Structure 1
């Protein structure tokens, strides 16, 4: 039972990170021309987290691009470990 609670808690934490990242991407979408900087929605299903982002030209904001890459990498690694 304890293992189940731990897994559930780990999944909740990842889901929260997913929600935070989605909010961040939504904010970016508002701040940039949506056609010029297409950012696809993240897809979250009960067992896996699938992240889909179109190629984005970060001409003005390389920092945001790196932030998103790092965040996605961290979430992906967390999922692979579990």
Structure 2
């Protein structure tokens, strides 16, 4: 099981008459994986869906964990 994406968003109060709306968002991707896989990431195995090469990475790059902060304003 994998926690693929989580997003939190909050509407901030506006403090000027020029901004009609203001929001702040926090997004996290590829945050956690609950498995017994010994390699970097079970989704990047060399065999894909094949059972013959499962758990062999062959230097594949794992899917990165990313974080994003977003501030959106409407004028």
TM normalised by structure 2 equals 0.26
| Structure with bigger gyration radius | 2
TM normalised by structure 1 equals 0.25
Q: Looking at both structures, which has the greater relative contact order when contacts are Cα pairs under 8 Å and sequence separation is at least 6?
A: 2
